[in-house]
A and B are shown apart, each in its own frame.
Chain A
């Protein structure tokens, strides 16, 4: 009997290896993935916790693509501890997950936060929902797998659904898996279950204290005692606290996020009828959610008047400052990159790259090499090599390899944060350069691999994720296809061809607009926005930019990906001054030597060494679906959700007049409501293109602080009536300051130089003359000494003092650019007719 079982397993393994629809679960048992019919009775199908529509939507993908998809959508790699413990306790930022994810506001969630509701979840008490009351789900929605998860709230022993992840068979040519599968347990991918919003996952908190929770909140479904700010007493300044800051209270769930949290979006080809209730067919995982307010989500537990809420929580929909947590003190929210047609995305040869590669053994005592204990020849060697790599981030950073880049993002969203990230990050409160965390130190890939199981779990499956990104999920979304599908809603046999689209575009933008637009594009745009240079693909003027290759895929990525000086692009330069990939900084190991050796842009005043000061020429594939434009979504109308719950209305007008003064809200342009429909996207595209091609007509945008913010750094004394600072200082940031100027201010360098100028003026002068030149350096020293004198009398008014010393504000700014929607003047000089023609043509790409 036993032998029969063994033989059956061998046969099944072989079947699994051959049939693309089969995969190995992590426990070594064979099962069919849920996308496959159960078929033969000899094959036992193990029940999986989550037999939802999520899996049905993956039909047609290969086993590896499906595995990658599941990881992309579900794997937190352990970052729920980051958002539950590290974020509030070490970084002082509270997330009010109930405010964002409560079941009661399911219908308002997209409008408020831009989140995409999970089609597989349900509001307790609604028809067919397994949960009858919100008490059962602690106020959240019920999602597949919760029948098991909810049993473990307050108890240990939860078996993560990731343990059932359908791993593909290991690649036998992989030096780590030649003899056997040596991947880290898939359990360490940490899926948990959905929260009701795609990409946001929950885990049962074994430390949850049921009776204390009820005492605090009144019920299991209530969260108000935990999350609502405690009553303020007169004289307490900005000190506003909720129990979210009380580390002794353990919530029922730990919440983590996945890659999909920011990258998932409504499919431009098949948008949902009701954005609050999409189906899986309406969802795409890789193109980026242009409506998402991830910054506001991650500061949702902060009182509105706090510095963190105002500064880190102030970003345009669809953008986030990915160097906000691993802060480089350069305020630079950027859009989520659309991951499209990576197969034809340009790569760059002969880059000097220091990176790890898989080997089967290490030489004795080779410090560059490490083998995982308990494994057979699962080793890694770190060495410099010449490689062909992508340039992935907006300035070309993440240039050591695509797989490495995927891995880095997991760290940047909090995975392994305790084991290998936080100790390297800057503590904004640490003003002493002799203390740890005054500034960044480099993340150590080797240490993280050794000390964090989730790092290894992801690393061992990067190929699956990569395969998913190359799957049909990353295909271009043509307007012609979107319109045809839209027509089929009312007429199932409707046909809408490229000729139809061109005819409609010509009707809207002028006779022969598309043809003329193609000529303009070839003449003015293709140099930067084609991935096939003329030397390779022939003259742009005779080029079919929509041509497909032998596989049926679009041949041109429609972007060279070459980096250009930011001063040439002319766009808001703060993102290009991002410093995290520099030597000695947090992502040093994810930047190539070639990247760091790029010559500096001679037209920038702020620090821009280490290969900074560049932007890539981006892809224009499916550009009709990706407005607003530029790296920060600033060119085009402002977007807003207009939620029913006005407390969650985060729109703040950024418009200013020619003098940089805020335009009153009733006189400023309003915001456009979120509209992911095909025609909604198209209208937004047209308006944004007009803005792009007419820089002189753009109303400048400078986000500003709209109310005074008082920030107390350090401890206070409280006499029962009035707070006073005891250690630290009470910093008042007056209304009207530009958000970017404040958040990019080098307060540490300023404080240290100011003290040096007061204590040792000669030394300060020598330092600043070296940094800024003789004339300017001396002036700065003079200003510093004057400022120090004023601050000694009024330590709480640093911001006002700085306003009186504008040279200091400029000299100590990592980025002093303020107007977010400036630049990219290319096409400005075209006639109005040619501009319309270009808009028409680009809509066909």
Chain B
């Protein structure tokens, strides 16, 4: 198969799939919501002007260590999008992740599991937006927001892939150049490299988030160009931003072309368990990024 053929076929196929009620994400998996925690939220309406200012939300309803200690990925999925946004805005970037993590996209409460969309159908009805390809997204979701490895020291992130077969047509003629990692005796490919840095949140400007940016990965060794283009600056322009809930547990937001696309969690159970006692006990956490100036009740050590 010639490089790129599969993509062309994919595009043609995509245009036969008109998504009428939002962009579907069947293959991205989902979390099943459980009862919400004791976290409180500022009141809000549907229209943009009725959403509360995040600074006010944080001032009036500050999150405590106890709030964050009890959150689980499943609980987040029980909130609606505005509530998730209000939680995200009250987090800080925390520690730039390092090591193995599991990413999990999720749909907010009120949105079917196989969809990510806004509360209205406007986005999905726009000409052009309706061209969204379920096949392409399923493939990407499976890889981009699945098993990750973060190399905090060199500020890189990769997706760990067991099976290259679905991506075979995108790898070009030298897949052997792709770096690997051995986890529990099993070799995994390190793909979809992204750069990590402290940067701007596209939701809440008051403090930095950790950015996972796939736009300029071409100079990272061992990367197949065709795949890079798919998610990079000439492709989907994927840009994730994450903030830490507690050590080992992050809440993330995915943007494509700077348009919000989906929520995800990033979780390392070992790290979470290792730090849980100290975190619940009020132990301060490191801040690798600019934490802003608004006073928070949770202690931190700024490294920035």
User: Is A444 touching B53 in the complex (CB atoms < 8 A)?
Assistant: yes
Partner of B122, one of A432, A436, A714, A792: A432
List the B side residues contacting A417 at CB < 8 Å.
205
CA distance A752 to B120 in the complex (A): 11
Q: In this assembly, does B268 line the interface, its C-beta being within 8 Å of a C-beta of chain A?
A: no
CA distance A432 to B46 in the complex (A): 11
CA distance A324 to B14 in the complex (A): 38
Interchain Cβ contacts under 8 Å between A and B, 19 examples: A86-B200, A92-B258, A245-B233, A247-B211, A248-B211, A418-B206, A421-B205, A433-B47, A434-B118, A436-B51, A439-B49, A444-B53, A453-B293, A715-B235, A715-B236, A715-B259, A720-B229, A727-B256, A729-B128
B37-50 Cβ-contact flags toward A at 8 Å (1 or 0): 00000000011110
**A424, A712, A725 — which one has the most chain B CB atoms within 10 A of its CB?**
A725
Instruction: Report the stretch among B3-11, B24-32, B107-115, B274-282 that lies at the interface.
Output: B3-11
Instruction: Report the stretch among A236-244, A606-614, A817-825 that lies at the interface.
Output: A236-244
User: Is B122 touching A796 in the complex (CB atoms < 8 A)?
Assistant: no
Interface residues on B, range: 35 or more
Q: In this assembly, does B265 line the interface, its C-beta being within 8 Å of a C-beta of chain A?
A: no
CA distance A730 to B56 in the complex (A): 38
User: Is A716 touching B46 in the complex (CB atoms < 8 A)?
Assistant: no
Q: Tell me whether A718 and B200 are in contact in the complex, defined as CB-CB below 8 angstroms, given that A433-B48, A755-B125 are known contacts.
A: no
CA distance A728 to B118 in the complex (A): 14
List the B side residues contacting A434 at CB < 8 Å.
46-48, 118-120
Q: Tell me whether A714 and B226 are in contact in the complex, defined as CB-CB below 8 angstroms, given that A85-B199, A720-B7, A728-B128 are known contacts.
A: no
Instruction: Report the stretch among B96-104, B130-138, B158-166, B175-183 that lies at the interface.
Output: B130-138
Q: In this assembly, does B54 line the interface, its C-beta being within 8 Å of a C-beta of chain A?
A: yes
List the A side residues contacting B56 at CB < 8 Å.
444, 447
- The interface of chain A, by Cβ under 8 A from chain B, is 81, 85-86, 89-90, 92, 207, 233, 236, 239, 241, 243, 245-248, 417-424, 429, 431-439, 441, 444, 447, 450-453, 584, 712-721, 723-730, 751-752, 755, 758-759, 791-792, 795-796
User: Is B3 touching A720 in the complex (CB atoms < 8 A)?
Assistant: yes
List the A side residues contacting B230 at CB < 8 Å.
717-718
List the B side residues contacting A730 at CB < 8 Å.
128
* Nearest A residue (CB) for B3: A720
Nearest 10 A-B pairs (CB), nearest first?
A: A729-B128, A795-B127, A422-B205, A720-B4, A715-B256, A248-B195, A89-B200, A715-B257, A438-B48, A719-B7
Given A726-B236, A727-B236, A727-B256, 8 extra CB contacts under 8 A: A85-B208, A236-B234, A436-B85, A713-B259, A717-B10, A719-B8, A727-B129, A729-B126
List the B side residues contacting A246 at CB < 8 Å.
195, 213, 215-216
* Nearest A residue (CB) for B156: A248
* Nearest B residue (CB) for A85: B200
B209-240 Cβ-contact flags toward A at 8 Å (1 or 0): 00101011000000000100110011111100
Q: Tell me whether A447 and B55 are in contact in the complex, defined as CB-CB below 8 angstroms, given that A419-B206, A435-B48 are known contacts.
A: yes
* Nearest B residue (CB) for A730: B128
Q: Which B115-174 residues have a C-beta within 8 angstroms of A? A: 118-120, 122-123, 125-129, 131-133, 136, 155
Partner of B216, one of A248, A436, A452: A248
Q: In this assembly, does B246 line the interface, its C-beta being within 8 Å of a C-beta of chain A?
A: no
List the B side residues contacting A712 at CB < 8 Å.
257
User: Is A441 touching B53 in the complex (CB atoms < 8 A)?
Assistant: yes
List the B side residues contacting A724 at CB < 8 Å.
11
CA distance A417 to B204 in the complex (A): 11
User: Is B127 touching A86 in the complex (CB atoms < 8 A)?
Assistant: no
